[in-house]
Amino acid sequence: SAVISQKPSRDICQRGTSLTIQCQVDSQVTMMFWYRQQPGQSLTLIATANQGSEATYESGFVIDKFPISRPNLTFSTLTVSNMSPEDSSIYLCSVASWDSEAFFGQGTRLTVV
């Protein structure tokens, strides 16, 4: 199993600013995933972060808006840049291995005002 610590758990930010979300895993994992859950919606994959290479972004998400770092096998950050109210969502990091469940952090509830 894996335990994921995600910080901050929530934040209220001014539009135009940036927020960096941290995700720490208690074991080494090859791939980490970042999801967004807009209010009342399902989870949508933002990007896949592989250690040692650039993140792979899904359609509709760009690196300038959601830069991701993956400095080692237990840590990743997602930055939400130049925020607008439309970025208000829950952001979740996740890790998965083929032979186990997918583990999720507690999520970061972001409100942009």
Partner 1 sequence: AQKVTQAQTEISVVEKEDVTLDCVYETRDTTYYLFWYKQPPSGELVFLIRRNSFDEQNEISGRYSWNFQKSTSSFNFTITASQVVDSAVYFCALSEKEWNQAGTALIFGKGTTLSVSS
Residue 89 φ then ψ, to 5°: -165, 175
**Closer Cβ to partner 1, 30 or 82, answer by number:** 30
**Closer Cβ to partner 1, 16 or 91, answer by number:** 91
**Closer Cβ to partner 1, 13 or 90, answer by number:** 90
User: What is the C-alpha to C-alpha distance for residues 102 and 33, in angstroms, rounded to an integer?
Assistant: 10
Beta strand 108-112 with 10-13 is parallel
Q: Which parts of this chain interact with partner 1 (CB under 8 A)? A: 29-31, 33, 35, 41-45, 48, 90, 92, 94-98, 100-104, 106-107, 109
CB of 113 vs partner 1, minimal distance in Å: 19
Note whether 103 and 96 are within 8 A (CB): yes
